[in-house]
Every structure is written in structure tokens, then in C-alpha cells.
Structure 1
């Protein structure tokens, strides 16, 4: 559990940097892109109209690292520099992941909810229904969609 949390924290640092760069939801040369259905990953060597359209439609997604042992497929160029600079700052953690033989992987930088529906049940109660891929959290999606508060925590 601790290893998973550490990897998620590193992923979140990369995601925050991509959000700040305003390219978290865009295909960038050198990105590792993930196919929506199969979760296969490929290196994006060039961005063209087809890639931009597929990204916009949610067919492919830019990814961020879940660090571990070095993978043979790596981001390149500006994306490599960004990730490398962030992860170098966590050298001890990165070394620990390697020593524990944790396999590196990639996760999409964005989550696209499916079957999204919302309706008001009462004046102050909005019901939101959606489906998410494995590994995604509904609370993270809700945090981005609406300004909400957890009533169970306010008492």
C-alpha cells in the first residue's frame, strides 16, 4: 500500500506540472500515449491532425509515470526533461522502488467518465452517475466537476 501511495504521489507531481503547463490533456511530441480500450502504450513521434482528433475524442490519452524499474519505452524530448527533473528530486524514493523490483508503468493523465448523467433529486441534492475505468476515483472526478462538501465530515 505504501509503495502504491508513493508511486501515485510521484504521478501527481508530474500531472500537476503538466496542468501548470496547460498540456495535460494534449498530445505532445515525445509523450507516451495510451489507447483507451486496450491500454497499450506507444511513443508519439509526431503530432498531426489525426492524433489531435483522437486525443480530443478520448481514443488516446497522454500518460504520466508510475515509477519503478526502468522501462524500455520512455518519454522523449520536453516531456522527458519535465518528468526527469521532477523525479530526480525524489532520488531516494526512486531507488527504493527499484530495489523492491517494482515495475514501472504509465497511467493516463486524464479520466473521461462514461455514461455521465446528472439530475436534481431535491432542491439541494444533485445526483451524478458515471462509470470510471479501474484505478480511477470518483472523488477526484467530482472535485473537478463541482464545488462540493462532504456532509459527513461537517458534523
Structure 2
């Protein structure tokens, strides 16, 4: 089974190397909501800084420390365990019960930075972006080469690969989902019973891993073919910063205005997230683009058929992303450490940017 390093690189596999996450403070992430809270309501929202804990670890601490059910804890996205990350959580806690938060902060791994009230629970995928501050240590290779690869990402964007964490430790999620699909596609299989054998969260994680794996390989193929960021007849386009898609009225016609928008990152080429196709979907690929996608979908027929069998709806995802406010510097002339800062929209991975720069250990 292929892993991230086997996927195509825009600038070829880097010869540069660096150490990532040597210290927790080397990998800092700040979640940005992008909207205002009501200031009142039954849900207490917390801006939390966590260190060496996963998002679900913090959710469990909040549930246990505040005496609420785990399923009532809300968060928008999963953040890296090994790092210093701030993110928002919500829980149904009255003003009189807020003192219970002291039970969460005991060992210093969790710090509540801010609290606000809101009328609704925080839902998955609600935040706008993440701000990253990453220190790469022990950079092996010339500073000029590092700078050139960063300049390339700044100009071209980066492939919108799903990160390795999506697939579980040692690709364990993929092994589990393949076994599940093989069982589900047997003629005698009871899909309802199979659904019941695992919780909704676990099931969603496995389905997500399957779709991500197929998408990554489609993107890798388009990079190899040299058209990951250029229009192919029948492509479906994504409007930057949104989950909205559209296709040119005539797939074979590509005009100068669309080309300008593509070059300015106002729109992006998209690829399929495999699943059950809706006959009413107006934005399915066609023509040459559909043929290219079908080649990859057939290569992973077990996963594709299994996702449809479980009624997971097909969707799409941009093939690239452009980091916002990407900057970097070499803080100390006596060391080989490189500090990189940038913002990414939700759903994109900093590691997918970093892999275009250097190999990390």
C-alpha cells in the first residue's frame, strides 16, 4: 500500500531534509473561527491551548472534568497532537458550572485562554482557517534551495493531498476499511449489521480514509501528467474558499476569463471524493476529465464500490491550495533552523505544503 512519499511532487522529490516537531513549540497552530459569537446562550465556547494532546483527548478531559457527556462536546477540526495548538471547543455548561473548568487545567497540558457564550454547539468544519508557525530544525541543504522551493509554493500553490494522519498509524485505517468493504460486498452481507458493529465516529473515520486515499492517487496522477493546475475538457471547478463547484457550460470551451481566474487562484480544478453518485448532480466531470478520473476509480474499485454500497455520497475537492501570507526566515545565522508562517483554509494540511519543501523526520 502506497504512503505519502510515493505520491507525486510538483517540483520533484526534494533532496533537502529537516527535523520537524523536535520540540512541541516547533509546531504551533492557531484556529481562527472567522465569525462572531452571540455572547449569550446555553453553550460555553472555550478557546483552548493544548500541548501533546489530541483534540479527542481534550474533549474527553472536558467531559470528565465538567461532568457532561462526551457527545455534547463540540469542536470544529482535529489538531495535531505533537505541537502547541489553540482551538475552540463548546459544551453545555451553565454560568454556575463554569468553575468546573479548573478540573481540566491541572497538569498544564490544557490552558483555557478565553470563554464566550453562544446559542449553538460548535460543529465539525465550522472554522475558517488555521494559522501555522513551524520551525524546521537542522535543515540539510543550501538556504538558496529551501528559498527556491518555498518561492515555488508561493507562486504555484501546493497539491491538496490529505495528510498521513488521515490514514491512521501505519495506515491502519486503510487495512480496516478494506476488510470492511470486502465483507460488505459479499452477496450474503448484512450492511445494517455491519454498520452497527462500529460507532458513527469510527465508521466515518474509515470512510473518510478510503475517499482520501483514492483522491490522493488521482491528484498524484494529474501531477505526473502535468495538468494538476490546468484545465482539461470536462473538469469541474471549485470557487476559492468555498464548497461551491461549477462547470463551464460547454466542457470543450475554455475562455480567457476562466484562465485568468484560474491563474489568480479565484477558482481551482477539482477531483472526486468517491461515493454514491447523485443522478441530479449537475457538477459531475465529463469528457476527457471524466475519463482520467475513471482510470483511477477503477484502480481502487473495492473502495469505490464499498463507499457507494454504504450510501456515502460522492463529492469533490480542490486539487490545490494557496497558503495565505506565506513567509519564512532564518532566525539565527549560527544555526540551520528555518521558521515558516502561513494560513491555510480548513481541511488542508500543513504537511502537504512541507513535503514540497523538504523531507522531514
**TM-score, reference length from structure 1:** 0.90
Q: Which runs of 5+ in 1 are unaligned?
A: 151-155
Contact 1:27 1:51 in 2 (8 A): no
1:60 counterpart residue number: 267
Match of 1:79 among 264, 286, 289: 289
- Cα distance in structure 2, aligned partners of 1:148 and 1:112: 20
Q: What is aligned with 2:312?
A: 102
Q: Does 1:50 align with 2:227?
A: no
Residue 103 (structure 1) shift: 1.3
The aligned length equals 149
Partner of 2:352: 140
Rounded Cα–Cα distance in structure 2 between residues aligned with 1:26 and 1:70: 25
Report SS of the residue matched to 1:121. Answer: coil
- Work out whether 1:118 is the aligned partner of 2:325: no
Give 1:27 deviation, angstroms: 2.1
Rounded Cα–Cα distance in structure 2 between residues aligned with 1:142 and 1:96: 32
For residues 110-151 of structure 1, the C-alpha deviation after alignment (integer angstroms, 9 at most, x for no partner) is: 11101111111223111101111111110110111x22423x
Please give the TM-score of this superposition, normalised by the length of structure 2.
Answer: 0.40
Query: Is structure 2 residue 7 aligned with structure 1 residue 7?
Result: no
Structure 1 residues 73-116: Cα deviation after superposition (integer angstroms, max 9, x where no partner): 31111110011121122222112101211111111101110111
Report Cα offsets for 1:2-48 as digits up to 9, x if no partner.
21111011001110111111010112221000000333101132211
Structure 2 residue 300 is the aligned partner of structure 1 residue 90: yes
CA root-mean-square deviation? 1.3
Q: Greater relative contact order (Cα 8 A, min sep 6): structure 1 or 2? A: 2
> Which ranges in structure 2 are unaligned for 5 or more consecutive residues?
1-204
**CA apart distance, 1:69:** 0.9
Find the structure with the greater CA-based Rg. 2
| Residues 27, 62 of structure 1: 8 Å contact kept | yes
CA contact (8 A) 2:272 2:315 kept: yes
4+ long deviations beyond 6 Å: none
Residues 274 and 314 of structure 2 are in contact (CA less than 8 Å); yes or no, is this contact kept in structure 1? Answer: yes
2:207 aligned with 1:20, yes or no? no
